[in-house]
Amino acid sequence: MATIGIVGGTGYTGSELLRLLTGHPQAEVRCITSRAEAGQRVADALPMLRGRSELVFEDPAGAPLAECDLVFFATPNGTAMAQAPALLDAGVRVIDLAADFRIKDLSVWQHWYGMAHTAPALVDEAVYGLPEINRAAIRQARLVANPGCYPTAIVLGLLPLLEEGLIDPTRVVADGKSGVSGAGRTAVAGLLMAEVGESFKAYSVAGHRHEPEIEETLRLGTGQAVSLTFVPHLVPMVRGIEATIYAPVTRASSDLLGALRQRYRDEPFVDVMAPELPVETRSVRGSNLCRVTVTEPQGKGVAVVQSVIDNLVKGAAGQAVQNMNLMLGFPETEGLDGVALAP
């Protein structure tokens, strides 16, 4: 049984980690931290865990994190890079669900995240935690950078087509839609249900910090530069990411769908669907699946990819548990084989 620590247990990703790990047969959460809720019973703050957890939130300064086999950071950007070095020195493996180690180019990272990086040596060591690209490296890693939610959906949709040279990498447009939980649990007026309900809007149109993460991941994964125009949108739902991606095809009569099916034939958490079937967020809600398809509408030379994930599961906590399984030598699907919630 592996002992697990969670830093930052009251946000949506931290509570989702707890939900998934509570049912994991080979992992036991030893401690979970929260400065604001220190001393409170976890099951009182997160009622879905009543009868399933006897943990109490601990202050990070006194929590026995260094005694764990692996620690998750479900914290704001900047926290893991300050605290992970000491844990790594103590022999603890670390998975960061924030963005501290996702982008290798530190000048790009500092531009988009607006702070100096305090652990630059660890950026080179960190493995980007998308198993469909980096499975072997994740198994050996001490430090994993869990991908962002939009990058997970978009990279999985584009990867096979770029690997096979079936689309033009210089003219890719990604239209992403997210539920409000993607913005975190902090109370913000613009994310209140009364503000979001019955509405639909684009945001960060001039540039979103996930764009360089997507471009770098695809470049490192395929060996070719990708020029991406990415526009995210906020939709009035709690969970879910839907990405519709457009790119010119490079040759006529290409088997676009066949490329996806071949690339993901052995992937446990990527489901390639026929184009005539609905690719919808509710079909992955609460699961670690990415469902994806591609078509070339009316043979007009543009590939249209549709990709959906649950932003809190495959886009965050579920993918983090998938990475934990690889790092600790467990079956990759352990604790993650639940069926999506419907309706």
CA 302 to chain centre: 27
**290 annotated active-site:** no
Helices (H), the chain: 12-22, 42-45, 79-89, 106-113, 120-125, 131-140, 149-163, 193-196, 210-222, 256-263, 318-328
Token pair for residue 161?
Answer: 């087509």
Write the DSSP symbol of residue 341: P
Alpha-carbon gap, residue 62 to 137, rounded angstroms: 32
CB 42 within 8 A of CB 63: no
Name residue, tokens 């290409």: 254
Alpha-carbon gap, residue 205 to 207, rounded angstroms: 5
Q: Is residue 184 classed as helix, strand or coil in its secondary structure?
A: coil
Alpha-carbon gap, residue 281 to 335, rounded angstroms: 21
Alpha-carbon gap, residue 327 to 70, rounded angstroms: 9
| Number of Cβ atoms within 10 Å of the Cβ of 156 | 27
CB 284 within 8 A of CB 153: no
Alpha-carbon gap, residue 15 to 52, rounded angstroms: 13
For 123-173, the DSSP string reads HHHPEE--HHHHHHHHHH-SEEEPPPHHHHHHHHHHHHHHHTT-B-TTSEE
Active site residues: 149
